[in-house]
Each structure stands twice: as structure tokens, then as C-alpha cells.
Amino acid sequence: MSDLYVSWEEYHAKIEDLAAQIYQSQWEFDQILCLARGGLRIGDLLSRIYNKPLAILSTSSYGGKDFQERGKLTIAHNITMTTDTLGKRILLVDDLVDSGVTLARILEWLKEHEEFAITEVRSAVLWFKACSVAKPDYYVDFLADNPWIHQPFEKYEKMQLSDL
């Protein structure tokens, strides 16, 4: 597996590319639902660009050395949002689709929660890996060689408070 190193500048440019791609599709959505942690920054910026409310669903599936070991997917019990409802059309945002398990499971999870009354969900990520079992609706880069992506904020995962 190769490695892909992404700078802050590249990271922000990809978010802008993703925003433009969604805009060009002319699809209208009511709210952005980001998957935390990876989708937090992307969801925040898209929420600002589109002036749409941001909801957050915490998920976790990576751990181990340098957070590079995929484990069991854990999904929070609740969505955090500032609106009364999610709305009918949701843009689901994450940083990447690796195995595709998280995307597929979250789409199922949303359907299981009929109280949200969602009629359409589209997904948006920066990176879509070829090894994925699920395909996002919007993505910036298709990665045929399935590299490990080193995002610019990862330095904080290895940092100790005493390093500050």
C-alpha cells in the first residue's frame, strides 16, 4: 500500500472542489450530516459555504498504532443538531470511503431511524478508494491504488500536551 501525504492547502482545495461539484449537480439539500471525526472539518466548511445547518454523528472504526487499524464500527446513539429535524434531503459527509463499510452502514442506520423522515441521502467525500464496497455520490479523487492517506491534522494524534 502506498502513502498519500496531503497538506493543509491541498486539503482545503479539495473541500472547495467538492463544494463546486455538489453545486454543479444542482441537487438541493436541507442539511449536512457529517461523520465525526473525519468528516467534521469538511462538514463545517461545506456548512459555511452552503449556509446550511450542520448535524454531527460520531462514528469510530480505526484504532491501534497510528490509528491505522480498522476495527468494529461504533455509531453514536444520537445525532447532534441545532434544528428540530434533519430535513428530507441530507448531504452525508465524510473524509473518505476506504472499505465502504462505514458509508454502507450509516445509510442503513439512517433508514432504520424512520423518525428522521429522510427521503433522500447523498454522500460526499474527498477520497474514494477502489477497494470500497460502496460508492459515494460525490468525490474529488478516485484512488485506484488504495493508498494510506496522511491528512494534515494527523500530527495532533501523535502529539503530547508536553510537546506544546
Write down the mean pLDDT value for the chain.
91
3-state secondary structure of 15: helix
What distance lies between CA 23 and its chain's CA centroid?
17
Task: Tell me the pLDDT tens digit for each residue of 38-92.
Answer: 999 999 999 999 999 999 999 987 555 555 556 688 898 899 999 998 999 999 9
Comparing 70 with 155, the larger pLDDT belongs to: 155
Topology (CATH level 3) of domain 3-158: Rossmann fold (3.40.50)
Please, which residues have CB within 8 angstroms of residue 16's CB and are 6 or more apart in sequence?
Answer: 49
Question: What pTM was computed for the model?
Answer: 0.88
What percent of the chain has a predicted confidence (pLDDT) above 70? Answer: 93
Q: Give the mean model confidence (pLDDT) for residues 19-41.
A: 96
What are the structural domain ranges in the chain?
3-158
